[in-house]
Amino acid sequence: MKNRILLLIIVTVLLGCSKKISLPTVEESLRVKLEQYLKHNYTTPEEYVISKFNDHDIVFIGEFHRIKQNVELIQHLIPMLYKNGIYILGTEFGRREDQHLIDSLLNSARYDENLARRIIFNQFVHWGYREYVDIYRAAWQLNQSISEQGRKFRILGLNDSPDWSIIRSQKDREDPAIMRKVWRGGGEHLWAKVILDEVVAKGEKALIYCGIHHAFTEYKQPIFDEQKKMFIRFEEGRMGNFVYNKIGKRAITIYMHAVWPSCRGYSKPNVYPTDGIIDAVMAGMEPKYQRVGFDTRGTPFGKLPGETSIYKHGYVDFSLEKFCDGYIYQMPLSKYEGVTPIKGFINNENIDRARAQSPNPWFRNATIEDFYDASRQSADIKKRFARFW
C-alpha cells in the first residue's frame, strides 16, 4: 500500500525534476522595452490587485497550487481588499455546501482552528496545509477589528461536493457513468453561479482565488491528445469562462508566476512561462523591481510567446495577453517554497472519512502517516521545480 502511494508521489515529483532548462538570451531591444515598462509602471503585487477593481468587478487570481508565497499573498490582500471597499473573497478551497460553516467561523467571537480545518478537509481531504487554512484565520482576524455594527468580510465557498467513496479502482475513474455519480451534478457553472448571484447581482465586487485553469475568463484552455500529439478542442466550461460570458470585461484574470505545462502534454515535465523570457528579464532587474504586478494587455509583456507550452495549442498566434490580463511576479521559481503540511490534519477522528473521500482508491487503506507523507511530498516545490534552478 505505502509503496504504491510513494510511487504515485515520485511520478508526480519527477515531472518537475527532469533535465534542467536554461534561461534564454533575450534580444536586447526587447529586454530594454520590458525593463523600461516595469520601471515606469512599477507597482507592488498587492497594489496592483487592488487597482484592478477601479475598472472591474470580478478579479480572478489564479495559481499553480501549493506555492507558499502565493497563498500568503492572498492572506495579505484580505485587509487591503476590505479597506478599499471589496468585502468578498471567493475561493476554490471551500464548498458551497459549507457556506454556513464559513460564515459561522468568520463571525465567531473566538477563532475555531478545528472548524477551519474541517472546512478545508471537507473540500479536499489531501489539502491539509497551514497557509490555506490560515486564509480563514486572516479573514477572521480582520472581522475581529471591525465594530459590531460594521460590515464583516466574507469568504464564499465555490467548490462542489463530490463523493469519492464510489471509486473503488482506477477503472472506475475512467467510467463516465460512475464519474457522474461521483460529481453529483456539480460543475464549474455552479461555481460561477455563486459569483453571479452573491456578488454581481448585488452590485458587489470580489476577488476570486483558485487554480489558474478555473480562473480563465476570455482564454479557452486547450484539450490536447498526448498519444496523437494533436489539439482536440477548447475547454469552455471553466468558472471564469462562465462569468466572462455574462459580464464581459468586468471580469479579468491575473496569473501568479509559476511553471506552465509542456507543449507535449500535461503529463510531461513543466516549462518556463513565456519560454523563459519573463524569468530572464527579471533576473537582470534591480531588486526593488523584482516583486511586481503588471498588465499584459496592450503592454510589451502581452506579446510574449509560449511556444514551449501547451497553452499555445488551438491558437494561431498565442501570446501572454491572450492567456491573462495581468501578471504577478514575486521571485524566481528557484526561490519558491512549498506550503506547510499540518501534522495531525488527518487523525484518528477523520481517518475513515479521509480514506473514503480520497479521489485515489489506493488510499482506501492508507494510514495517517501515508496521508501526511503524500501531502508533504506534493508540497515539495523545491524538488518539483528543481529543473528551473
What is the tens place of the pLDDT at every residue in 279-295? 999 999 999 999 999 99
Q: Would the pLDDT of 17 be above 60?
A: no
Q: Which residues contact 40 (CB under 8 A, 6 or more apart)?
A: none
With cut-offs at 50, 70 and 90, classify the pLDDT of residue 248. very high
Q: Which pLDDT belongs to residue 12?
A: 46
What is the average pLDDT across 233-261? Answer: 98
Model pLDDT for residues 310-324, shown as the tens digit of each residue = 999 999 999 999 999
Q: What is the pLDDT of residue 150?
A: 96
SS3 107: coil
Range of the domain at 110: 2-388
Supply the mean pLDDT for the chain.
95
Dump pLDDT digits (tens) for 49-95. 999 999 999 999 999 999 999 999 999 999 999 999 999 999 999 99
* pLDDT, mean of residues 123-150: 97
User: What per-residue confidence (pLDDT) applies to 175?
Assistant: 96
Taking a C-beta distance cutoff of 8 angstroms, is the pair 379, 338 a contact? yes
Reported as a pLDDT band with limits 50, 70 and 90, residue 2 is: very low
Structure confidence by residue, pLDDT tens digits, 323-358: 999 999 999 999 999 999 999 999 999 999 999 999
Over residues 113-121, the mean pLDDT reads 98
* pLDDT for the residue 18: 60
Into how many domains does the chain fold?
1
* ∠ Cα 266 92 235 (to 5°): 40
Q: How far apart are CA 154 and CA 300, in angstroms?
A: 37
Q: Can you give the pLDDT at residue 96?
A: 98
Residues 168-196 have a mean pLDDT of 96
Give DSSP secondary structure letters for 313-338. TT-TT--HHHH-SEEEE-S-GGG--B
> Taking 70 as the threshold, does the pLDDT of residue 99 lie above it?
yes
